[in-house]
Amino acid sequence: MVKETKLYEALEVDPACSDADLKKAYRKLALKYHPDKTGGASSAQFQDIGHAYDVLSDAQKRQVYDQYGEAGLSGEAGPGGMGGLSPEDLFSQFFGGGGGMGGRGGRPSGPRRGKDVAHGLKVTLEDLYKGKTSKLALQKNVICEKCEGKGGKEGAVKTCNTCHGQGYRIILRQMGPMMQQIQQPCSDCRGEGEIINAKDKCKTCNAKKVVSVRKVIEVHIDRGMKDGRKIIFNGEGDQAPGITPGDVVIVLEQREHEHFRRVDDDLYYNAKISLVTALTGGKIHIKHLDDRVLVVDILPGEVIRPNELKAVMGQGMPTERHHDFGNLYIQFEIVFPASNWTDAKELDQLRSILPPAAPLPELPKETLTEEVVLTEMDPHQKAKAERGHMGVGDDDEEGGHPGVQCAQQ
Ligand SMILES: [Zn+2]
Ligand SMILES: [Zn+2]
């Protein structure tokens, strides 16, 4: 006694019918309801017949269905469950495939799309400023011209009978009350779905259907493009029979620049100027990304303070649409005189010119005071003091924890 009869009803057969009866029934109904015959989209009947035959023509699936009904078949994607064929593929397989009514590969969803391949392309900030065309050599698979992607001589390529060209087989395994379905690569065709006799194999591609070629592509880097920008070459990915090649995606990776830092369309530049320039004005040179030298005028009397940021408008990066430029921001580092001032007369001169220092606050009369002097430190001591100043603390470079040392003594 079978659990359900829906699939048998779809094929208008008795649940006790033979394989030959199933085949006959499917042939008759599939031809009757095929979209090419009915002159329209795939009808519900055609789908139902296909699904019913897909299940019942497989001894194992039929066994599962008889025992558990449709519920036993669920668990895998696809219209037929259990990774079954679409009604169209089933039909073409049943009637010999290739050509005619919706041959193999005529899946309703269209051909499969290959993977996109991404490549990084290192560029300099100069490249992004001026624009550039880079040639890039890629290794890619193309359809073998000799066998036109068939893998062998005309007629030598046969669909594998064991897996009917699927390249895999469904194995059922009992897991408690449920049947677990496992896909295994077909051993007869090694998962290829087809069999080619050794002597008929294409020598050019060794039956792989594709050959690897070197292809040079020209990447146009437009002025103003940014780090991470993707440039897409449609359909330049690997070719393979029955698939639409994916894209080659070139991703720009900007190398760090020695002097400029880019943020959006603006450039940042650190300029070192001497104390005298900061106080009395002068000129600095900035070599730009197109080798122009910007002569920057620091006006006399315009005091530049340490870390002060000033802008040069319109001297940043070009914007990608070329209508505009970002700004150049200059941050100033003031270089103080390297040597100490020893001439008392000069010090007096400086004191007379520079604004007076802020006066010390008045101390209460009873305050206890002590005069101390500043000392130069040796490099080791200085490094330690700097770490402490930054809040990093001592990293025990003397070896061991001070507390531990005490305990050992
Ligand atoms: Zn070939
Ligand atoms: Zn096979």
Same domain for 130 and 97?
A: no
Q: What integer pLDDT is reported at residue 393 of this predicted model? A: 60
Helix (H, G, I), strand (E, B) or coil at 87: helix
Same domain for 389 and 327?
A: no
Could you tell me the distance, in angstroms and rounded to a whole number, from the CA of residue 173 to the centre of ligand 1? 39
Task: Write out the H or E segment, with its range, that includes residue 185.
Answer: strand 178-185
Sequence-distant (6+) residues with CB within 8 A of 258 are none
User: Would you tell me how many other CB atoms lie within 10 Å of the CB of residue 246?
Assistant: 17
Could you tell me the distance, in angstroms and rounded to a whole number, from the CA of residue 192 to the centre of ligand 2? 7
Same domain for 271 and 287?
A: yes
Same domain for 106 and 119?
A: no
Q: Rounded mean pLDDT of 72-81?
A: 49
Same domain for 237 and 273?
A: no
Beta bridge partners, 333, equal: 272
Measured distance CA(115)–CA(107) in Å, rounded: 19
Residue 102 lies in a domain: yes
* Residues 69, 174, 177, 22, Cα dihedral to 10°: 10
Strands 157-159 and 230-233: unpaired
Decide if pLDDT at 295 tops 90.
yes
Among 18-32, 151-165, 359-373, the range of highest mean pLDDT:
359-373
Residue 367 lies in a domain: no
Question: In degrees rounded to 5, what are phi and psi of residue 102?
Answer: 50, 70
Task: Write out the H or E segment, with its range, that includes residue 10.
Answer: helix 6-10
Same domain for 264 and 320?
A: yes
Q: What integer pLDDT is reported at residue 44 of this predicted model? A: 81
Which ligand has the minimum distance to the alpha carbon of residue 162? 2
pLDDT tens-digit readout, 339-353? 888 899 999 998 999
Residue 278 lies in a domain: yes
Task: Count the domains in the chain.
Answer: 4
Could you tell me the distance, in angstroms and rounded to a whole number, from the CA of residue 153 to the centre of ligand 1? 9
Residue 284 lies in a domain: yes
Same domain for 280 and 237?
A: no
Same domain for 307 and 225?
A: no
Q: Rounded mean pLDDT of 13-27?
A: 86
Look up the CATH number of the domain holding residue 299.
Answer: 2.60.260.20
Q: What integer pLDDT is reported at residue 120 of this predicted model? A: 93
Residue 161 lies in a domain: no
Q: Domain span at residue 287?
A: 260-334
**Residue 80 Cα distances to 58, 63, 111, 210, angstroms:** 12, 16, 20, 32
Residue 229 lies in a domain: yes
Same domain for 247 and 264?
A: no
Name the DSSP letter for residue 201.
Answer: B
DSSP string for 230-252: EEEETT-S---TTEE---EEEEE
Same domain for 22 and 99?
A: yes
Which ligand has the minimum distance to the alpha carbon of residue 193? 2
Residue where a domain stops, chosen among 287, 307, 334: 334
Helix (H, G, I), strand (E, B) or coil at 402: helix
Residue 352 lies in a domain: no
Same domain for 144 and 95?
A: no
Same domain for 206 and 308?
A: no
**Mean pLDDT over the full length of the chain:** 84
For residue 115, what are its two tokens? 């993977």
Helices (H), 245-372: 275-280, 344-353
Burial class of 8 by CB neighbour count within 10 A (0 to 12, 13 to 18, 19+): buried
Residue where a domain stops, chosen among 334, 356, 391: 334
Strands 266-274 and 260-263: antiparallel
Residue 106 lies in a domain: yes
Q: What integer pLDDT is reported at residue 380 of this predicted model? A: 92
Could you tell me the distance, in angstroms and rounded to a whole number, from the CA of residue 140 to the centre of ligand 1? 15
Look up the CATH number of the domain holding residue 24.
Answer: 1.10.287.110
